[in-house]
Amino acid sequence: MTLGHIMFYVLGAGGVASALLVVTRRNPIISALYLIVNFFCLAGLYLTLNAQFIAVIQIIVYAGAIMVLFLFVIMLLNLGDDRKLSDAITVRKVVGAGLTLGLFMEVLYILLTAGPADSERAEAAGIALGTVEAIGAQLFTTFLFPFEVTSLILTAAIVGAVVMAKKKLD
């Protein structure tokens, strides 16, 4: 039981628990806050995988930027504690949960029946793999074109968001 193991179990348990709370809480604000917890747990998990860059931008972009947007919208629409949306157990929910559980079982079955992964090689290469330097080198050489295309996506998203949220559409 190394530190890595302990961290994995703690963060994994935290991630699953916070995810469960996200989908079960009635109040969207609370859900959103648990989602931030979940993102932090994930960032930790990335660190255990030696993916430092991803871990950092997980916190900066997700927990920082995106979640702020979520909270902002929830509060803008004043959706906090919306009792009217209280969810009764319906057939659809049962079926949905059942289907998802079935899917989970199938995935689990695949993972358990698959052969053991080669973790030794990972151990060796992992340290240097997830650094900003390594990713940056890849990003600006091999993936330069997709990288540039993301700027277009972001521009389109900005324009789209502005147009959508404008008060008078017509």
Partner 1 sequence: MPMISNAPLIVLFPLAGFLLIGLLGWKYRNELVIGIVGSGVIFLSFATAVGVLFEMASLPEEARRSTVQLFPWIGTFTGTSGSLGVSVGYQFDQLSILMTLIVTGVGFLIHVYSIGYMHGDKGYWRFFTYLNLFIFAMLNLVLADNFVLMFFGWEGVGLCSYLLIGFWYEKTFTGDAAKKAFIVNRIGDFGFLLGMFLIMRTFDSLSFTSVMSSASVMPTGTPVMFWIALLLFVGATGKSAQIPLFVWLPDAMAGPTPVSALIHAATMVTAGVYMVARCAPLYALAPDVLMIVAIVGAATAVFAATIGLVQNDIKKVLAYSTISQLGYMFLAMGVAAFSAGIFHVMTHAFFKALLFLGSGAVIHGMHDEQDIQKMGGLKKYLPVTYATFVVGAIAIAGIPPFAGFFSKDEILWNAFSSELGSPVLWTVGALGAVLTAFYMSRLVILTFHGKERFDHHHVHPHEAPKTMTVPLVVLAGLSFVGGWLGVPASWGLGNVVEDWLNPVFEPARHKLMLAEHESHAAEFTLMTISVVLAASGIYAAWRWYVQHTDVPDRIAGKFARTYRILLNKYYVDEAYDAVVVRPTQTASDKFLWKGVDVIIIDGAVNGTAKVIAIAAQTVRRVQTGVAQSYAMVIVAGIVAVIAALLFI
Partner 2 sequence: MVPIPYYLVLSAAMFMIGAVGVLTRRNAIIVFMSIELMLNSVNLTLVAFSVATGTITGQVLVFFVMTVAAAEAAVGLAIIIALYRRKQTVNLDEINILKW
Binders of partner 2 in range 119-138 (CB under 8 A): 119, 121-126, 129-130, 134-135, 138
- Name the minimum Å distance from CB 123 to partner 1: 31
Complex with partner 1: residue 82 or 123, whichever CB lies closer: 82
In order, the DSSP letters of 39-74 are HHHHHHHHHHTT-HHHHHHIIIIIIIIIHHHHHHHH
Those residues whose C-beta lies under 8 Å from the C-beta of residue 82, and which sit 6 or more positions away, are 26, 27, 28
How many residues contact partner 1, by CB under 8 A? 11
Contact with partner 2 (CB under 8 A) among 10, 81, 144, 165: 165
- The reply on whether position 4 binds partner 1 by CB under 8 A is no
What would the DSSP string read from start to end of 104-170? HHHHHHHHHHSPPP-HHHHHHHHHHHT-HHHHHHHHTTTTHHHHHHHHHHHHHHHHHHHHHH-S---
The three-state secondary structure class of 76 is: helix
Cα 24 from Cα 150, distance rounded (Å) = 34
Interface of this chain with partner 1, residues 83 to 122, rule: CB under 8 A: 92, 95-96, 99-100, 102-103, 106-107, 109-110
**Segment 2 to 31, residues that bind partner 2, using CB under 8 A:** 2, 4-5, 8, 12, 15-16, 19-20, 22-23, 25, 28, 31
Q: Which is nearer to partner 1, 110 or 124 (CB)?
A: 110
Binding site for partner 1 (CB under 8 A): 92, 95-96, 99-100, 102-103, 106-107, 109-110
